[in-house]
Amino acid sequence: MSRSAPKGLPWPPKDSPPARGFRGDGEGGTGKRIPRPGGVRRGDRARPPEAALLRTSGLVKVYRADGVSVEAVRGVDIEVAIGEFVAIMGPSGSGKSTLLHVLGGLEPATSGEIWLRGQRVDGLSTAGWAILRRRHVGFVFQFFNLLSNMTVADNVELPALLAGATARQARKRREELLAELGLADKAGAAPARLSGGEQQRVALARALANEPSLLLADEPTGNLDSSNTRDVLRLLRRAHDRGQAILMVTHDARVASLADRVINLFDGMVADDAAIVPGPRGVNGVRDVLELRG
Amino acid sequence: MRGTLRWARADLRARRGQALLTVGVIAGVVAALLIATMLLQGALNPWQQLFARTRGADVLIYFQNGTNTSELSSLPGVQAVGRPYQAASATLEQGPVKSPVQLRALTPVLPAMSAPLVVAGTWLRASQRDGAVLEASFAQAVHVGVGARILVDGIDGTTVWMQVIGIADTADQGFYPQWTPGLIWVQPGLLRQVEPNPSETQEVVGLRLDDSSAVATSQVVQTIWNLYNGPTENSAVERYSTWQQVQNSMASNDRLLGLLLALFGIIALLAAPCAIANVTAGRVLMQRQDIAMLKALGFTPGQVVRMLLAEQTALGAAGAALGLVAARIVTSSEFLRPPDGSPVGLAPLSGSWLALIGVGTVLTVALATVIPAWWAGTVSPIAAVQPSPPRGHLSLIARLGLLVHLPAALVLGARDCLTRRLPALLTVFGLAIPMVMITIALTCWSTIDGFTRDPARIGLAAAVTVSQGGLPSRQALALIGHDDQVLAYYPSAEFDTLLPGANGTFVARAMGYSWRPYPFQVVQGRMFHAANEAVAGQGFLDLMHIGVGAWISPTIDGVPVILHIVGRTLEPDNNGDVLDFGLDALRDAGSAPPQLMYSLVLKPGVSAAAARTQLLRASHDQLDVQLAANPASGLGVMQVVIAVSVIVLAVIALANLLTATAVGLRDHRHEVGVLKAMGLTPRQVMATLVVNATILTAIGVTSGILAGLVIAPRLINMQGQTSGIGSGIAAGLSALTIAEILAVALAIAAAASLFLARHTTWMADSAQLHSPTRPSRPRAHASSLRNP
């Protein structure tokens, strides 16, 4: 009935991205590994030379309502490499969230191209996008958006089941993820019983359940207090360290400084796209500004 | 698939109440549909149930007395042979009226095959040798009840008094008077008193066959016939009857009943999907966020649609199964017998019928779910991210209302109806459709009720018909004229007449005179006022393919009569194939004075039975007094069906109301806190919610009743027309009834919403306000984040 993987297909999918789980050290992934010798600072890493994981060109999103059209995204060209952590910043209304939704196929683009893992995906149907999301795109939202009907365990297992995992595989994966996130004892709880931070950690586990190539996070800490923010960011970091590509929208410069690169949007256009490179003083990176203030 | 299942399981667990409501509503509809079908099938064909309950014989053979019947059991195809019993012909004498009867000699111990089913009094008792048990339809036709003493004449003139100790049903033969003779069961001793000559009695043997199909039955009968009525022997088999003959004779050809069955089926077929669609749409509305999230997680639109379809269909199947069981339990106990006495069985439905209703229900559920499911499939995944901002604004009217100090709850409650249009529409439609059905059902009821309470309305002004019987006509007329219970009487004569130029017959009736016609109910045109004018029933007009205003020249009683049809009457007799005119029309045409009968219109409040008793007493049982048959008497079962359907429809409406209110309240949960913060007291908040629900209910119920009032008379008149009685039979609902329905509906709606609103206000008290405020920014330094 469902369009899940046909019987006999291995799970996790063989063509899954190089990203590895919280625990795994890359055994599951067949993709090219990013050389990451121990002790090397993040900033030292060069952009991976291979084809980009995600690439857009001339991406435009126009909302039309009551005869008025609003251009939320106006010709965005960005590229995210495999395993890269990119933060998108910008003032309210600059089109950050819209861009993220379009990149995840939650909304269709008005024009422009989206390439994901070397395939052009902007022309996909709603169903096509849905199937793509199952395996290759994970979402984390500001308001967690856990399925209220389902227990924490079911919430985390659902994406794996959807992607064709057996119940046993899904359970095993869920147990790993929740243990990693310190939520093993909450598996049977209803999402409404959890605190905001716990809910966001569950949402993160759900997004990472299928080891997606790309994790899209829309203000993941926007609704959390400082200690929960720290927890969630630590988890994102850890995922990234294991090779997970992340595209995160945030308002918060300190949160953004965690990324390899920060893209600034202004009025739906890329105003600034800079890698955060620790270097000599005087380079105008956001992180340096933060460090100066700190 | 696994993901879908996981979601469906979690969903059912989380919304147990709603799922149970759906199952309950479907079970109710299915049970009602089954019971109604069983009742109506039983009414249309009571034989099946009677046959089962009396363990009837497939074939009854009437042998000459003394025939050796032992060979029967060894015949091929014969499964069992019943105990032979004696039968004798006789006559029941009631004053001048003599009815042919057959006495059957049975013992106080009921036989294993063809045991009469006692419905009143007791079966034969050894202690009461003159006791007799009458077949029910015969007892009704001759107006004899338990405790009466009857006089039975044998063929040779022996007369024997018997005491009626019981009334029983049997599947051995059709109903009296269509099937004669009337059956009376007595003990063998009493039979010998009436018919002492054994050669005048018959021996009746019942057979059960291995294969009771029509072909097999006729083969067995043929074998027996050949065996006993061979060319050399006397004809030992005098006659026989098969179950097929009995079944056919019992089958009612009441078209009106059949049509009402169809109407009921349509009501159920429309109401059930409406309820299910409403419940499903309500679910989609309530789960919009979750559905959006599922799509963001990777559910395709098709998967969402299939998931909802599968879930609802499963609930539908569960409901259908439950309804089946419920109907079984309800109908297993009693053999229904409406007050009019005609046996109405709850005929057990055949497997194909059950399958039809079961599969039909599940399909209906699936079909009703398609639109809401498709709608769920189109929910944008963005809804998961952005809760849709509230629409609508405080309109001018609302502002004015607040300005003139209308209660805030009233203004805000009324405003909600306009701003939340989709839930409002769901509520209104969810209530309006069952209300249309309820109005139709109640109008049917009121029409049937009108038949019984005011028979003159359907052209049955005369409750009693008298023929002079053994009296000279002048004396009969004097007796009628002096009866203080009689309001008016009309001389009449009736002729079965050939249709001019066509095959078939109709009834030509001369009733009253053109200057004093019988009070027909003329619904089109006018009454006849001249000797060459006539009125006719719808059936007759249809048969002749003519309308009011036509001229016809039928040959009545051998004399051609030219008549101008000036009006159409409501005509319950003879499927409406009736032509009515004055006696003077016949006289003018030159036909001989016919044998007259008298149709008696009784004074208000006088029962037909009482009038009959008084006339019989006054004439010393010399007059022949017959009660007019009312078509509504056969519709008694319809009232049971209508009552059941109204209850089910009310439950459906309530389910819809609860769903819609729950959806509305869920939307309100966040607002309740805001309203409170604005300074509304909890009571005012509750009042807002109740006002909202009550206004929507009022709109839904009123529009439903109005639509029903428009549709119902048309439907019923259409049925009247098809059944030959003619359109114009529908009796509308009184203003009082309508007001009562409205008041009850509003009271229930207010109570239901009050209950739910209390719950919601209480919940909102304990829950935090869910507002997307931005929490304080994390204060930690970036450096500390970098190195956890």
Predicted local distance difference test score (pLDDT) of residue B16:
83
Q: How far is CA B202 from the centre of its chain?
A: 41
Predicted local distance difference test score (pLDDT) of residue B132:
93
CB B566 within 8 A of CB B534: yes
Say whether pLDDT at B237 is over 60.
yes
Residue A161 has its nearest CB partner, among B2, B287, B384, at: B2
| pLDDT confidence bin for B163, thresholds 50/70/90 | very high
Cβ atoms < 10 Å from Cβ of B223: 14
Element (H or E) spanning B775, and its range?
none
**For A252, which DSSP code?**
-
Mutation target to probe the A interface, by most A beta carbons within 10 A, among B284, B286, B300, B766 is B300
**Would you call B296 and A139 a contact, using CB atoms and an 8 Å cutoff?**
yes
Mutation target to probe the B interface, by most B beta carbons within 10 A, among A145, A223, A291 is A145
Give B 305-364 residues with CB within 8 A of chain A: 306, 310
Cβ atoms < 10 Å from Cβ of B182: 23
Cβ atoms < 10 Å from Cβ of B529: 11
| pLDDT confidence bin for B103, thresholds 50/70/90 | very high
Q: Report the gap between the CA of B356 and the closest CA in chain A (Å).
A: 27
Per-residue tokens: B215: 């072909």
Q: How far is CA B734 from the centre of its chain?
A: 22
The span from the CA of A156 to the CA of A144, in Å, is 13
User: Under 8 Å CB-to-CB from B203, ≥6 apart: which residues?
Assistant: B62, B63, B64, B65, B66, B67, B69, B84, B85, B86, B87
Chain B residues in contact with A106 (beta carbon < 8 A): 296, 380-382, 385
**Would you call B298 and A130 a contact, using CB atoms and an 8 Å cutoff?**
yes
Average pLDDT over residues A265-294: 64
**Would you call A294 and B783 a contact, using CB atoms and an 8 Å cutoff?**
yes
Residue A106 has its nearest CB partner, among B310, B382, B772, at: B382
Average pLDDT for chain B: 79
Cβ contacts below 8 Å, chain A against chain B, sum to: 163
The span from the CA of B151 to the CA of B91, in Å, is 8
**Would you call A3 and B300 a contact, using CB atoms and an 8 Å cutoff?**
yes
* Percentage of chain B exceeding pLDDT 90: 6
Average pLDDT over residues B260-264: 66
Q: Report the gap between the CA of A225 and the closest CA in chain B (Å).
A: 6
Give B 468-487 residues with CB within 8 A of chain A: none
Residue of A nearest to B1 (CA): A2
**Would you call A166 and B2 a contact, using CB atoms and an 8 Å cutoff?**
yes
CB A86 within 8 A of CB A96: no
Beta strands in B363-424 (DSSP E): none
User: Of the candidates B77, B74, B71, B51, which has an alpha carbon nearest to the alpha carbon of residue B217?
Assistant: B77
Least confident of A267-281, B182-196, B385-399: B385-399
| pLDDT confidence bin for A35, thresholds 50/70/90 | very low
Indicate the residue type of B279.
V
Q: Report the gap between the CA of B770 and the closest CA in chain A (Å).
A: 11
Residue A2 has its nearest CB partner, among B4, B10, B382, at: B4
Predicted local distance difference test score (pLDDT) of residue A208:
84
Which of the pair, B12 or A16, is modelled with greater confidence? Answer: B12
Predicted local distance difference test score (pLDDT) of residue A259:
86
Q: Measured between CB atoms, does B770 come within 8 Å of chain A?
A: no
Enumerate the β-bridge partners of residue B60: B206, B241
Predicted local distance difference test score (pLDDT) of residue B186:
93
Cβ atoms < 10 Å from Cβ of B563: 24
Chain B residues in contact with A141 (beta carbon < 8 A): 384-385
| pLDDT confidence bin for A292, thresholds 50/70/90 | very low
CB B639 within 8 A of CB B339: no
| pLDDT confidence bin for B587, thresholds 50/70/90 | confident
Residue of A nearest to B784 (CA): A230
Predicted local distance difference test score (pLDDT) of residue A294:
37
| DSSP conformation letters of B21-48 | HHHHHHHHHHHHHHHHHHHHHHHH-THH
Predicted local distance difference test score (pLDDT) of residue A192:
81
Mutation target to probe the A interface, by most A beta carbons within 10 A, among B7, B297, B313, B770 is B297
- Which pTM does this prediction carry? 0.65
Say whether pLDDT at B30 is over 70.
yes
| pLDDT confidence bin for B112, thresholds 50/70/90 | confident
| pLDDT confidence bin for B703, thresholds 50/70/90 | very high
**Would you call B301 and A126 a contact, using CB atoms and an 8 Å cutoff?**
yes
pLDDT tens readout for residues B291-314? 888 888 888 888 888 888 888 888
Predicted local distance difference test score (pLDDT) of residue A16:
45
Say whether pLDDT at B769 is over 50.
no
Chain A residues in contact with B788 (beta carbon < 8 A): 230, 233-234, 237
Residue of A nearest to B299 (CA): A130
**What separation in angstroms does the CA of B492 have from each of A135, B495, B509?**
90, 10, 7
User: Under 8 Å CB-to-CB from B515, ≥6 apart: which residues?
Assistant: B529, B582, B584
The span from the CA of A285 to the CA of A262, in Å, is 9
Helix (H, G, I), strand (E, B) or coil at B563: strand
The span from the CA of A181 to the CA of A238, in Å, is 11
Average pLDDT over residues B57-61: 89
**For B211, which DSSP code?**
-
Predicted local distance difference test score (pLDDT) of residue A42:
41
Return the exposure string of B224-263: e unless at least 16 CB atoms fall within 10 Å of the residue's CB, then b. Answer: bbeebeeeeeeebbbebbbbbbbbeebebebebbbbbbeb
Chain A residues in contact with B290 (beta carbon < 8 A): 147-149
**Orientation angle between helical segments B288-297 and B301-332, nearest 10 degrees:** 130
Q: Report the gap between the CA of A294 and the closest CA in chain B (Å).
A: 6
Predicted local distance difference test score (pLDDT) of residue B787:
39
CB B276 within 8 A of CB B312: yes
Per-residue tokens: A166: 């057996």
| pLDDT confidence bin for A41, thresholds 50/70/90 | very low
Which of the pair, A71 or B277, is modelled with greater confidence? Answer: A71
| pLDDT confidence bin for B779, thresholds 50/70/90 | very low
Helix (H, G, I), strand (E, B) or coil at B615: helix
**Would you call A3 and B788 a contact, using CB atoms and an 8 Å cutoff?**
no
**Would you call A165 and B306 a contact, using CB atoms and an 8 Å cutoff?**
no
pLDDT tens readout for residues A196-242? 888 888 888 888 888 888 889 888 888 788 888 888 888 888 888 88
Predicted local distance difference test score (pLDDT) of residue B311:
87
Chain A residues in contact with B779 (beta carbon < 8 A): 226
Q: Measured between CB atoms, does B299 come within 8 Å of chain A?
A: yes
**Would you call B289 and A107 a contact, using CB atoms and an 8 Å cutoff?**
no
Residue of B nearest to A256 (CA): B782
Q: Report the gap between the CA of B284 and the closest CA in chain A (Å).
A: 13
Whole-complex ipTM: 0.75
- Residue B114, burial from CB neighbour count under 10 angstroms (0-12, 13-18, 19+): buried
* Percentage of chain B exceeding pLDDT 70: 84
Q: Measured between CB atoms, does A57 come within 8 Å of chain B?
A: no
Least confident of B481-490, B547-556, B635-644, B769-778: B769-778
Average pLDDT over residues A258-279: 82
Predicted local distance difference test score (pLDDT) of residue B164:
92
User: Of the candidates B645, B638, B636, which has an alpha carbon nearest to the alpha carbon of residue B32?
Assistant: B645
Q: Measured between CB atoms, does A61 come within 8 Å of chain B?
A: no
Element (H or E) spanning A273, and its range?
strand A269-275
Average pLDDT over residues B410-433: 78
**Would you call B298 and A147 a contact, using CB atoms and an 8 Å cutoff?**
no
Chain B residues in contact with A4 (beta carbon < 8 A): 1-3
Percent helix, strand and coil across chain A, each to the nearest 5: 30, 20, 45
Give A 109-148 residues with CB within 8 A of chain B: 126-127, 130-135, 139, 141-143, 145-148
Predicted local distance difference test score (pLDDT) of residue A14:
46
Average pLDDT for chain A: 76
The span from the CA of B175 to the CA of A96, in Å, is 85
**Would you call B384 and A291 a contact, using CB atoms and an 8 Å cutoff?**
no
Q: Measured between CB atoms, does B682 come within 8 Å of chain A?
A: no
pLDDT tens readout for residues B83-95? 888 999 999 988 7
| pLDDT confidence bin for B105, thresholds 50/70/90 | very high
pLDDT tens readout for residues B120-151? 888 999 898 899 999 988 888 888 888 889 99
User: Of the candidates B183, B659, B696, B709, which has an alpha carbon nearest to the alpha carbon of residue B414?
Assistant: B696
**Would you call A106 and B380 a contact, using CB atoms and an 8 Å cutoff?**
yes
Say whether pLDDT at B764 is over 60.
no
Say whether pLDDT at B470 is over 80.
no
The span from the CA of A250 to the CA of A222, in Å, is 8
Q: Measured between CB atoms, does A63 come within 8 Å of chain B?
A: no
Residue of B nearest to A127 (CA): B300
| pLDDT confidence bin for B368, thresholds 50/70/90 | confident
User: Under 8 Å CB-to-CB from B630, ≥6 apart: which residues?
Assistant: B451, B452, B455, B460, B572
